[in-house]
């Protein structure tokens, strides 16, 4: 074939590459589990070591092989960019290649969005644990905007006490640090909806 083409082939395969997003979401957790069990379980550590010694592994660690799929989408994008850049303007593959590059870009964007969403949920869960996992607060659709300590000044004796605020997209939590931090770091004293709330300086 004097006019080889790859753009149309990549277009057919690109939608399936979105599955890498699921892999990426769980990558850090998987690596962490391997590390934990390698330390906790000598048989597991021995099994991993035995597998890594095989010729097919090319003297590379399991973590290295696990990283390959993570790097695949960026590699495809770079290779396709270079391919499109070097294609002659009159090439019959230019249109398909440019469309394929756009699809690969969207796949990369999808993967990045999947990672960002997983990180958001993980961070949100940590916050909920610090608040004691109260039923009326835990909601995966919430978004933590800001948190931090404040000083409450008593109008009676002018004394101060430390409080803590959690600002979400839909509510503001006024909290008190717990003296004995067992199960929760803060106790929620007041919950305020942010609808209609105004900030006055």
User: pLDDT, tens digit, for every residue of 40-52?
Assistant: 999 999 999 999 9
Confidence (pTM): 0.56
| Dist CA 76 CA 7 (whole Å) | 12
Sign of the torsion angle spanned by Cα atoms 69, 17, 112, 35: negative
What value does the mean pLDDT take over residues 4-23?
85
pLDDT (0 to 100) of residue 201: 66
Q: Residues 106-115: pLDDT tens digits?
A: 888 888 887 7
CB 27 within 8 A of CB 70: yes
All structural domains of the chain, each given as residue ranges with its CATH number in brackets, are 7-130 (1.20.900.10), 144-193 (no CATH)
Contacting residues for 140 by C-beta, under 8 A, at least 6 apart:
121, 124
Across 125-135, average pLDDT: 80
Q: Chain-centre distance of CA 138, in angstroms? A: 19
Whole-number Å distance between alpha carbons of 61 and 74: 21
Chain mean pLDDT for the chain: 85
Q: Quote the pLDDT of residue 20.
A: 82
- Whole-angstrom distance, CA of residue 49 vs CA of residue 54: 9
Residue 13 CA to residue 100 CA, distance in Å, equals: 9
- Torsion angle in degrees (nearest 10) through CA of 17, 23, 24, 25: 120
Main-chain phi, psi angles of 14, to 5 degrees: -55, -45
Look at 151 and 117; give whichever has higher pLDDT: 151
Report, as an integer, the average pLDDT of 48-71.
Answer: 87
pLDDT of residue 31: 84
pLDDT tops 70 at residue 135: no
Please report how many Cα atoms fall inside a 13 Å half-sphere around the Cα of residue 1, on the Cβ side. 6
């Amino acid at each position: 074939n004097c006019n080889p083409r790859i753009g149309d082939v990549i277009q057919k395969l690109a939608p399936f590459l979105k599955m890498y997003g699921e892999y990426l979401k769980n990558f850090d957790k998987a690596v962490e589990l391997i590390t934990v069990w390698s330390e906790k379980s000598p048989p597991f550590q021995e099994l991993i070591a035995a597998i890594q010694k095989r010729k097919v592994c090319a003297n590379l660690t399991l973590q290295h092989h696990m990283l390959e799929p993570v790097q695949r989408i960026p590699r495809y994008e770079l290779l396709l960019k270079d391919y499109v850049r070097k294609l002659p303007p009159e090439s019959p593959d230019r249109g398909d290649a440019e469309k394929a590059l756009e699809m690969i870009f969207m796949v990369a964007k999808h993967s990045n969005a999947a990672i960002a969403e997983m990180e958001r949920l993980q961070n949100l869960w940590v916050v909920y644990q610090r608040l004691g996992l109260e039923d009326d607060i835990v909601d995966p659709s919430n978004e933590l905007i800001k948190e931090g300590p404040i000083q409450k000044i008593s109008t009676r004796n002018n004394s101060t006490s430390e409080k803590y605020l959690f600002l979400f997209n839909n509510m503001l939590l006024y909290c008190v640090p717990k003296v004995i931090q067992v199960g929760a770091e803060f106790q929620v004293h007041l919950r305020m909806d942010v609808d209609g709330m105004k900030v006055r300086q």
